[in-house]
Amino acid sequence: MMDTAERLPILREPFGVLPDGRAVERLRLSGGNGFEVAIITYGAAVQALYVPDRAGAVADVVLGHDDLTPYLAQRHYFGATIGRYANRIAGSTFTLDGEICRVPPNEGANSLHGGFQGFDRQLWNVDAVGNEPEPWVRLSYVSAHGEEGYPGTLHTRLTYAITANGTLSISFEATSDRPTLANLTHHGFFNLAGVAVGESILDHRLTIYADAYLPIDPASIPLGAPVSVEGSPFDFRAGTPIGARIREAHEQIRLGHGYDHNYCLPDGHVAAPRLAARVEHPRSGRVMELLTNQPGLQFYSGNFLDGAASGKFDRLYRQSDAFCLEPQAWPDAPNRPDYPSARLDPGETYRHVSLYRFSTL
């Protein structure tokens, strides 16, 4: 660990202005040896993440944009904070204490990632920054009762921290003044080769430490109970290239246009983060391990990146340019009493901690 004298300052710089005149900031936190994260206050998003390879060469490993305008023009969730409810709610309705709650149907008949104006479309406040024990920034957002149809005023705090040993920590806390839902996640799009080179992620070797996943219907809503990954293209327990079975004639691969499924992590909600996934990029030697306390992990193989979005390094983002591993509650849990609950009551605190730990082979 670097001592205080060696730490680089947290840099705060302008990143554009919203149409209503509010300023967006970028905050850059350094862990040393080139490991650095850049966070923008619009959507509390990770705009860049620089990671060294086995030779010490540093590359940005997440999709994103160089300025604010494309974040406003198109909604791709690049690096964004998702809420109030990450993933999908079937029929855009759920019942809470006998009351039917209606949320925006922004993906056909269903609601995705918090509706039309989810947390990824909000300007977050910078509450505090610090360098002890490692560089960190705390952001907050207050979602009013009824916003996007969700009950309760939700006070959300998000802390990003970066360490000298190559770990990015993302911690959420939330409280509400009445019963509601809370299911927040980080929607990073990763490519460990470095996004500047434009390589596919299909050769990345993925391990997911889960024995079961949730099959989906044509609208990406879970069909029901978890199903074993045994003998299917969804079995990543031993470590397999992402592309090894992505073109198999499996009904779930067809419905998802690749992988876009929730993996059911052992033990559900846990107090301390446990290892959920590991990704290795053989050529660069970069390794990312994801630890989380959440009950589910959505694995998305970048199936709907179609070249319509241009990003950093003058690249058009296309299918399989990135993968997402999103720790969260299970999709449609508010309508499934057999799934781990995403309910938050007054007096309780929602806590989500995920660690992105980088190393090399």
Active site residues: 187, 326
Cα–chain-centroid distance for residue 283? 25
Number of separate helices (H) and strands (E) present in the chain: 2, 29
Q: How far apart are CA 321 and CA 303, in angstroms?
A: 9
**Coil, helix or strand for 119?**
helix
Q: What are the helix (H) ranges across 61-135?
A: 68-73
Phi first, then psi: what are they for 147, rounded to 5°? -60, 125
Contacts of 98 (CB under 8 A, 6+ apart): none
Q: How far apart are CA 192 and CA 177, in angstroms?
A: 41
Q: How far apart are CA 316 and CA 65, in angstroms?
A: 11
The pair of three-digit structure tokens given for residue 355, joined into one six-digit string:
């660690």
The pair of three-digit structure tokens given for residue 189, joined into one six-digit string:
């799009």
The pair of three-digit structure tokens given for residue 299, joined into one six-digit string:
């694995």
> 112 near 148, Cβ under 8 Å?
no
Q: How far apart are CA 106 and CA 21, in angstroms?
A: 27
State whether the Cα torsion 37-52-353-296 is positive or negative: positive
